[in-house]
């Protein structure tokens, strides 16, 4: 194995050198190929290397100075401690993002020559992947070292903290990348594992843990902060944190090597080829979006073997996995959903306090002008894409459950305290007779009713939008705009009127559930079979 490692290191070293020379030429630092071999050019290369080394030292010093001075240059004083508190969670988010990227695109990016000479050779997979991992890690290390040092100085206001911050950041990056690679490669160990739900749900599960279920997943980030802020000579606090991070990094590397030994080169080659082509497509999208879209459809169809092994539309886990991956791929959607949740909570507050009728009428109008969408939006997009259409859950029930439950789960964690505050500040009796009667009054009752209403409302949002989108786009049964308006007015109008006019959140909830049942029943009509839709999509793509 060591012989293979040396051989591959030499190959990758040559490629790195060629890349540097190329950029040197592009920037005009080096002359043409012939000149590069001359004695003068050799000396000149050394001069450039020394110049760059000097520049790196100066830039490093300037960066640390900037970090040290930042609190004195108008940066709000509250931001620095806030950053320290948020860092473990931010680290976790970064880890999850890396893991998702590794799952979506093979972490191993092979060139055509790699596919022919390495994937088709008996060379040790561990040696090959270890070398390529190290190569992929280089830019991350180069970026994380100054970032870690600057962050440590910013958090502590001491230059000396950079000495602990740099290795801590480096170790953390090794840990996070090795873990992401191990996860990405795990799905390439056999064709059966490429779509295994457990692998795809791991990042989402880690995220859920980080937000309260098991805070242990935030420990790497906490160790980073500890290593950075430990005061000098404080009984080896920084040393212990660094040791912990080193242990994590070593463990993740070991895991990576274990997984690497089992990678199926055929799967890795297919996934790598497909993700390279998709990568090229991103550049084209900027130049000609229409052409890129058409090509992407064909490519997606062709690459379905390699990348199409996302969790399918079968099984109980299909929807959470699809949506979980969707959230992580497009965090903007999650933010939008949280904003919607906040608006809904505000609406719940309005229902709980029926005296603010003018306010909730305005809110209702706002809602109808731009209804909240989440899953249904994706499904609408998915329905346009022949490749993704296969992943659209065909049964209405899991779709509705997903659209209501997933944002609900997120908001129960994040918005729960807000709802409790709202409930606690609401009048215990009189103003909210339904709530008081239902739960015996008090802040807790208000909070519970608020949450119940919130769930009912979001379920209705899913229903109305789902009916409109799936009915109009897939089933071809209804005009979407009118369906939006009709169901929106019927459902939300009734629920809110009942909630406010009858001053009973329980009545509103019952009405919401009645609408749920009505719409779910109407959804039970037979629609086109997935196979038929897929066939049409393929014909469309072939056109």
Contacting positions for another protein (CB under 8 A): 3-4, 7, 11, 14-15, 17-18, 111-113, 115-123, 191, 264-267, 269-270, 301-302, 304-305, 538
By C-beta, is 32 or 74 nearer to another protein? 32
- Classify each residue of 495-515 as buried b or exposed e, where b means 16 or more C-beta atoms within 10 Å of its C-beta: bbebbbeebbbbbbbebbeeb
CB of 123 to another protein, least distance (A): 5
Distances (CA, A) of 292 to 204, 307, 390, 413: 30, 18, 21, 39
315: left (phi over 0), alpha (psi -120 to 50) or beta: left
Task: State both tokens at 513.
Answer: 């559930």
| Closer to another protein by Cβ: residue 19 or 65 | 19
Rounded to the nearest whole angstrom, what is the least distance from the CB of residue 7 to another protein in the complex?
Answer: 5
- Of the two residues 363 and 387, which places its CB atom closer to another protein in the complex? 387
Shortest distance in whole angstroms from residue 325 CB to another protein: 24
**Six-digit token pair at 473?**
């786009």
Residues 6+ apart with CB under 8 A from 458: 340, 341, 344, 372, 403, 404, 407, 408
CB of 127 to another protein, least distance (A): 10
Residue with tokens 């909070």: 447
Residue 528, classed as helix, strand or coil, is: coil
Half-sphere exposure of 477 (CA within 13 A, CB side): 15
Q: Which is nearer to another protein, 185 or 418 (CB)?
A: 185
Beta carbon nearer to another protein, 116 or 413: 116
Q: Which is nearer to another protein, 377 or 534 (CB)?
A: 534
Q: Under 8 Å CB-to-CB from 239, ≥6 apart: which residues?
A: none
CB of 262 to another protein, least distance (A): 10
Least spacing, CB of residue 15 vs another protein, in Å = 5
Neighbours of 257 (CB within 10 A): 17
* Cα distance between residue 508 and residue 517, in whole Å: 14
CA dist 102 and 329 (Å) reads: 12
Q: Kindly state the smallest distance separating residue 191's Cβ from another protein, in Å.
A: 6
CA distance 138 to 140: 5
Closest to another protein by CB, 16 vs 397, is: 16
Identify the helix (H) or strand (E) that includes residue 392. Answer: none
Distance CA 435, CA 454 (A): 14
**Residue 121 or residue 477: which is nearer to another protein going by CB?**
121
Which residue's CB is nearer to another protein, number 124 or number 494? 124
- At 123 the three-state DSSP class reads coil
Q: What DSSP character marks residue 505? A: H
| Minimum distance, C-beta of residue 1 to another protein, in the bound complex (Å) | 12
DSSP code of 231?
P
Shortest distance, position 118 Cβ to another protein, whole Å:
8
Q: Of 263 and 419, which has the nearer Cβ to another protein?
A: 263
DSSP for 357-406, written as a single string: HHHHHHHHHHHHHS---SHHHHHHHHHHSHHHHTTS--SHHHHHHHHHHH
Three-state secondary-structure class, residue 78: coil
Structure-block tokens of residue 342: 């906040």
Q: Which residue has the tokens 């989440």?
A: 374
Q: How far apart are CA 429 and CA 440, in angstroms?
A: 9
Least distance to another protein, CB of residue 9, Å: 12
């Amino acid at each position: 194995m060591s012989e293979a490692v040396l051989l591959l290191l030499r190959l990758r070293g040559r490629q790195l050198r060629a890349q540097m020379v190329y950029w040197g030429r592009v920037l005009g630092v080096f002359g043409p190929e012939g000149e590069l071999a001359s004695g003068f050019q050799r000396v000149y290369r050394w001069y450039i290397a020394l110049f760059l080394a000097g520049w790196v030292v100066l830039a490093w010093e300037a960066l640390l100075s900037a970090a040290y001075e930042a609190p004195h240059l108008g940066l709000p004083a509250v931001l620095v401690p806030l950053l320290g508190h948020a860092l473990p969670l931010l680290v976790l988010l970064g880890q999850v993002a890396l893991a998702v990227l590794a799952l979506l695109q093979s972490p191993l990016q092979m060139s055509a020559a790699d596919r022919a000479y390495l994937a088709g050779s008996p060379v040790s997979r561990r040696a090959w992947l270890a070398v390529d991992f190290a190569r992929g890690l280089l830019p991350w290390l180069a970026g994380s070292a100054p970032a870690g040092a600057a962050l440590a100085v910013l958090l502590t206001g001491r230059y000396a903290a950079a000495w602990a911050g740099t290795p801590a950041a480096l170790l953390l990056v090794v840990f996070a990348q090795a873990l992401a690679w191990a996860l990405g490669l795990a799905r390439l160990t056999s064709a059966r594992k490429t779509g295994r739900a457990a692998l795809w749900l791991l990042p989402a599960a880690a995220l859920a843990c980080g937000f309260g279920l098991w805070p242990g997943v935030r420990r790497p980030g906490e160790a980073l902060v500890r290593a950075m802020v430990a005061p000098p000579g404080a009984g080896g606090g920084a040393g212990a944190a660094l040791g912990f991070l080193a242990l994590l990094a070593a463990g993740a590397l070991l895991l990576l090597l274990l997984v690497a030994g089992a990678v199926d080169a055929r799967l890795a080659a297919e996934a790598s080829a497909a993700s390279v082509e998709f990568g090229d497509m991103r550049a084209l999208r900027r130049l000609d979006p229409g052409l890129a879209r058409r090509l992407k459809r064909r490519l997606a169809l062709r690459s379905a073997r390699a990348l199409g092994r996302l969790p399918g539309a079968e099984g109980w886990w299909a929807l959470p996995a699809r949506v979980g991956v969707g959230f992580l791929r497009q965090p903007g959607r999650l933010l939008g959903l949280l904003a919607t949740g906040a608006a809904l909570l505000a609406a719940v507050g309005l229902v709980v306090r029926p005296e603010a009728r003018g306010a909730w009428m305005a809110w209702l109008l706002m809602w109808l002008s731009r209804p909240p969408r989440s899953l249904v939006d994706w499904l609408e997009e998915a329905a346009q894409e022949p490749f993704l259409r296969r992943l659209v859950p065909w049964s209405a029930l899991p779709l509705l459950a997903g659209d209501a439950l997933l944002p609900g789960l997120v908001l129960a964690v994040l918005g729960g305290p807000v709802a409790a505050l709202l409930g606690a500040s609401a009048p215990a009796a009189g103003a909210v007779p339904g709530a008081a009667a239902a739960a015996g009054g008090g802040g807790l009752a208000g909070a519970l009713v608020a949450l119940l209403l919130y769930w009912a409302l979001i379920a209705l949002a899913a229903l109305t939008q789902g009916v409109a989108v799936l009915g109009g786009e897939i089933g071809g049964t209804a005009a979407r705009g009118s369906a939006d308006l009709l169901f929106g007015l019927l459902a939300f109008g009734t629920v809110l009127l009942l909630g406010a006019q009858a001053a009973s959140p329980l009545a509103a909830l019952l009405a919401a559930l009645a609408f749920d049942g009505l719409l779910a029943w109407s959804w039970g009509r037979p629609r086109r079979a997935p196979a038929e839709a897929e066939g049409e999509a393929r014909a469309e793509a072939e056109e």
